[in-house]
Structure 1
Amino acid sequence: MRIPLGAPFLACALSTLLLLAPLPVQGVEPAPNEVQIPIDERQYRAAGIEVVRVEAEGGTTQTMLPGTVSVPPQQLRVVASPAAGLVESILVAPNEPVKEGQPIARLRSTDLLEAQRTYLQALSAEKLAAEKLRRDEQMHRERIIAERRLLTTRADYDYARTTLQEREQMLALLGMAEVDISAVRDQRRMVPALTVSAPADGVVLEVRATAGERIAPAAPLFSIAQLDPLWITLQMPLSQANAITPGTRVGVPGTPAQGEVIRLGRAVDATTQSLAAVVEVTDGAEALRPGQVVTASVALRPNGTPQWRLPAGAVVRHAGQSWVFVRSAHGFRARPVVVIAETASTVSIRASLTTEDQVATRGILSLLAELTEIYGG
């Protein structure tokens, strides 16, 4: 059979037309986690929906978040009064550096005198019990007394020794130095005043007592802190919860302070609807002060997902996730996105989009209602 000359060209033209023809809508499957929202042209116009083409962004994005500087709890020490008494003198001032063991206050306390008195009594009882035990051991070796009496004497000595150790520990808990306890033991001379010492190196943040004041046991006297490193607790919008991760670098503009996020909060503040992100400042912490309110610059590094800029109204929040509505052949596709930065007019997101995609910016309440009905939550 002879094929006409024009037949190959006609076949080629028909194949090209078939390739260019649009695929049926039912053959297009939404991407994972997407929600297909069918809507016809009449509904589209009635809802007043407007769309805009997405705009690509590149590079590292900086977002500014408010935060408060604080001292890590493991670096803060509260010095309390070891006993009730009268504050005789305060030896340090606020913001003054101190060293471990440095005297910071002196107290006069009747509790201290009572503790020394009972210690001296226990010391005498222990010596008496030791002498009695030595004598009974000698008499037992000479078979003058029975073994039962020796056992009783040993038990009495153990009790006296334990009581003495308890009284000595009580003096240490009251803040007496070892040299003062030795003086009481060797010279049997009681000390009327108690010296309060710094428990660690640091800076005095607060002095809570004054000279001449009577205080109760365990009353707070000083707050002493180590100021390097420091923490900044950032208030992070809920929409950016997936963009900031542990290890994200943070800086404070205008200062050398820099650090990284070490922990993200799980509870949401009911008033501000924000999460707490704790930043540990390891470089330039001396430029910050506990209690200072700062605005921190958070560097959001690319993670391989394309980054886009949209008008602020294009992103909605539903079921704990941020969404955009992407125009499709027969409606819209609700696509989950990650918000990484936002201003009053624009929002930066990370999502699997293309430069040809169009996203709804106005009239999206009807789309949100459809999403709620289909997706739930």
Structure 2
Amino acid sequence: MTRLFLRPAAASLLIALSVIPTGRAAALESSTALRPVPLSIDERAVRAAGIQLSPIQPESGATDLSFPGMVAVPPQQIRVVAAPAAGLVETVLVAPDEAVRKGQVIATMRSPELIEAQRGFLTAIADESLAQDRLRRSRSLHESRVIPERDLRVAETEATNAAAKLDEQIQLLKLIGMADEGVETLRRTRRLMASLEMRAPMDGVVTIRHASAGERVVASSPIFTIADLSPLWVNIQVPATRLGALQVGSRVILPTQGAQGRVIRIGRTVDAATQSVAVVAEVDTNGGSVRPGLAVNVSVRVEQSGLAQWLAPPSGVVRHRDRTWVFTRNASGFLAVPVQVVAETARGVAFRADLPPGTEIATRGLLALVAELSETGEE
């Protein structure tokens, strides 16, 4: 039986009914799993509800969606130069925002741990040399049957342990930051170095200087952050309801900066506070016009899909229970058709749905139709 007036339970539907507002982009929603829902309503009820129809217009070509974004450095292009040992930062040779080359000396520091590591290295060299001499003498005596084989095995073990200790000291010097050339110089000259040079691990730009000359630091304290600033990422905040319009590989343009790129990752979780999803795009810097920390307006190009795309008045597209619908006329009344909203422009709402050309949708009196849809139990 057709209802001409809304029941009390349907009154709350007036609050839930959302006609998509004019002047902003809308979401491309996944509705491929939904089917049209028939609504039985006779002609008298149509007139009483004031339902009016308007034709939809075919639309072709790509659509641009606009979102806010923030430029950031990709994490794999960031390196932190840390103090290899506790000590005093003696000199700082580069400043923030200064370009550096791989291997360039960027700071020097004095460290008691460096002195101790060098002393341990020289001691290990002497112990290893002595152990090798004992091993050669033990082999000679064993061949002459002067000492038993057990004494030879003891000498071999001592030589092996001494060699391992020397290798350990070499690795310790390298962890502290001494280059291979420095280790060989120390082995040859036996002269301890008072200062340690810190070098840039890659080509890039110093984005942060964490310590200054004269400052005492502990081991592993950050001294510099160096980053490669090309390419960069843009972290785009996309409302969850608009996420369906985007896909990995979608073209991205920064109109103000003249840079472009593509979407490389779409987040899988929704921020509870903002109800948005983080989408990451990789962009070029366009000669330095795009810089880390810059707030940008991002235009994402949404290409045509397999579904036909239509343009309708904003009043003809409604939100109901987190889905978007249009209502088309059929023989028994109306058909509630789930659609994928792409965007909204000044001309109207662009959406995708499998509809034949010349289809008319309801643009007035939709409250009665949404009440009927609610009564069907469609979730």
TM superposition score normalised by structure 1 = 0.83
Cα distance in 2 between the residues matched to 1:362 and 1:66: 34
Aligned counterpart in structure 2 of residue 196 of structure 1, from 195, 198, 218: 198
Contact 2:259 2:286 (C-alpha < 8 Å) held by counterparts? yes
For the 8 Å contact 2:285–2:291, the answer to whether it is kept is no
Q: Percent identity?
A: 47
The counterpart of 2:267, out of the listed 265, 268, 274, is 265
Q: Match of 2:136?
A: 134
SS in 2 for 1:242: helix
Change in CA separation of 1:58 and 1:345 when aligned onto 2, cut-off 3 Å: closer
> Cα distance 1:307–1:285, how it changes in 2: closer, same or farther (>3 A)?
farther
The correspondence for 1:249, drawn from 248, 251, 271, is: 251
Whole-angstrom CA distance in 1 between matches of 2:320 and 2:165: 67
1:118-133 matches, within 5 Å, as 118-133=120-135
Query: Which residue matches 2:179?
Result: 177
Shift of 1:273: 2.1
The residue type paired with residue 177 of structure 1 is: A
Amino acid at match of 1:259: G
Q: Which has the larger radius of gyration?
A: 1
Unaligned runs of 5+ in 1: 1-30
Residue deviations 1:262-304, cap 9 Å, x none? 2211112223322222211147363210111111222222224
Deviations along 1:301-343, one digit per CA (max 9) or x if unpaired, are: 2224222223445444556643333333333322222222235
**Mapped contact 1:228–1:286 kept (Cα < 8 A):** no
Give the C-alpha shift of residue 169 in structure 1: 0.5
Q: How far off is 1:194 after superposition?
A: 1.3
1:70-81 pair list within 5 angstroms: 70-81=72-83
Aligned residue for 2:119, secondary structure, equals helix
SS in 1 for 2:272: coil
* Paired letter, 2:104: Q
- Give how far 1:45 is off: 5.8
Question: Where does residue 206 of structure 1 map in the other structure?
Answer: 208
**Aligned-partner residue type, residue 303 of structure 1:** S
Number of the residue aligned with 2:152: 150
Look up the SS of the partner of 2:304 in the other structure: coil
SS of structure 1 residue aligned to 2:245: coil
Letter in 2 for 1:265: G
Aligned-partner Cα distance in 1 for 2:372–2:155 = 89
Write the letter of the residue equivalent to 1:223.
T
Partner AA of 1:302 in structure 2: Q
Report the Cα offset of residue 222 of structure 1: 1.2
Tell me the C-alpha RMSD between the 2 structures.
2.6
- Determine the C-alpha separation between the residues in 1 that align with 2:173 and 2:368: 75
Change (3 A) 1:315 1:156: farther
Partner AA of 2:359 in structure 1: D
Aligned mates of 2:260, 2:182 — CA distance in 1: 46
Deviations, residues 3-52 of structure 1 (Å, cap 9, x unaligned): xxxxxxxxxxxxxxxxxxxxxxxxxxxx9722223334565566665543
Post-superposition shift, 1:359?
A: 2.9
Specify whether residues 329 and 285 from structure 1 end up closer, same or farther in structure 2 by C-alpha distance, changes over 3 A only: farther
Shift of 1:103: 0.8
CA pair 219-193 structure 1, distance change in 2 beyond 3 A: same
Query: In structure 2, which of residues 92, 104, 108 is the aligned counterpart of residue 90 of structure 1?
Result: 92
TM-score by length of 2: 0.83
Q: How does 1:1-377 map to 2 (within 5 A)?
A: 33-41=35-43, 44=46, 51-282=53-284, 284=286, 286-317=288-319, 321-343=323-345, 346-361=348-363, 364=366, 367-368=369-370, 370-371=372-373, 374=376, 376-377=378-379
- Which has the higher mean CA deviation after the structures are superposed, 190-199 or 112-121? 112-121
The alpha-carbon distance between structure 1 residues 238 and 117, as it changes in their structure 2 partners (threshold 3 A), is same
Q: List gaps (5 residues or longer) in structure 2.
A: 1-32
Partners of 1:366 and 1:109 lie apart in 2 by: 80
Cα offset for 1:139? 1.0
Q: 1:317 to 1:121 in 2, by over 3 A?
A: farther
Provide the rounded CA distance (Å) in 2 between the counterparts of 1:88 and 1:375.
74
* Greater mean deviation of Cα atoms: 46-55 or 90-99: 46-55
Q: Does the aligned pair in 1 maintain the 2:267–2:279 contact within 8 Å?
A: yes
Aligned to 2:7: none
- Give, in whole Å, the separation in 1 of the partners of 2:128 and 2:36: 82
Q: 2:299 and 2:134 mapped to 1: Cα distance?
A: 75
- If asked which structure has higher relative contact order (CA below 8 Å, sep 6+), I would say 2
Counterpart-to-counterpart distance in 2, 1:160 and 1:49: 94
